[in-house]
Structure 1
Amino acid sequence: MNLFGGTISSLENGLSYATLNQKTIANNIANVDTPNYKAKNVNFKNMLEEEKQSSISAYRTDNRHYDFSITQSTPGVSDIDNLRYRNNGNAVDMDEQQAKMAENQIYYNALIDRVNGKLNTLNTVIKGGR
C-alpha cells in the first residue's frame, strides 16, 4: 500500500527536473564569456514524447479530459541548436538565460508550495484534525 499515492513521487520528479534545469542554466550563465561554449538545455518535453508509448496512461472519466502519461525518466541535457554565435564562438544569450532562470524559480516555488500543502494535510490527519 502506497501511503502517499503518486502525488509526492510526481512532485519529487518535478523538483528533480527543476533542480537539473537550474544547474544547467547556472552553468550557461557562468560560461557566458567562455570562448566556443555552446549553451545547454534540459530536454524534458522531448523525452516525455519519446516515452509516451511505453508509459502508463491516466484514467479519463470524460473524453474532454486531456490524456497524459506518467513516466519516471530523468531529463537529459543537450546543446541548444540553431543559435547565433558571438565573435568568440560563445552561444549563450544572457537575457534568455536569466528569463529561463526566473521561470524555473517560479516553477520550483510552486512545487515546493504543493509539497508543503500535502505534508500539512498529512500532519492534520495524523493529529486528528486538531
Structure 2
Amino acid sequence: MLLRYLREAIADTPRVAVYGTLKQGFNNAYWLKSATLLGSDITPVLTLYDIGPYPGAKWQPSKGVTIEVYRINVDHLAQLDRLEDYRIDAPSEGEYVRQQITTCFGLAWVYLYNPSVVGKPAIYEGGWRMPNSSNVQQRR
C-alpha cells in the first residue's frame, strides 16, 4: 500500500522543492546527494519561519523565498517523508505535510510546517540562514 502510494506520487510529481537544511551547503543536503538538482527558483507563495534549528514554510504570500528543486525517485520521497515526519495516513498529525507547489521546473512536492508559527520570526524574502552548527539537530 505505502509503496504503491509513493510510486503514484512520484509518477505524478517526480520533483521536490526544498528551502532549508536540505539545500546545498546545509547539514541535511546529503539526503539528496543522489537526486538531480534541477536548479533554484524564487516563490512568492511561501513564507518561511525560523523554527530555530530549521525553518518551516506556510502558504502565505512573500516577496519571494529561494527554493532548490530536485528530481527525485520513490526512495528519496520515502526518506524525505520520514525525515519531515509526514504521515500519509494522518497528515495533520505530522510535523510537516507534503503538498504540491508550482516551480519553474514544473510541479514539485514541498513540505509545509504543521504546528503554529505564532512568535516565530518570519522570512518574507530570500532564504533561511542556518544557526551555529553546534545547535543544529540532525533530524531536520
The TM-score bracket by the shorter chain reads under 0.3
- Tell me which of the two structures has the higher relative contact order, counting C-alpha pairs closer than 8 angstroms and 6 or more residues apart: 1
Higher strand share: 2
User: Considering only CA atoms, is the larger Rg found in Structure 1 or Structure 2?
Assistant: 1
TM-score between both structures, scaled by the size of structure 1: 0.24
- The structure with more helix, counted as a fraction of residues: 1
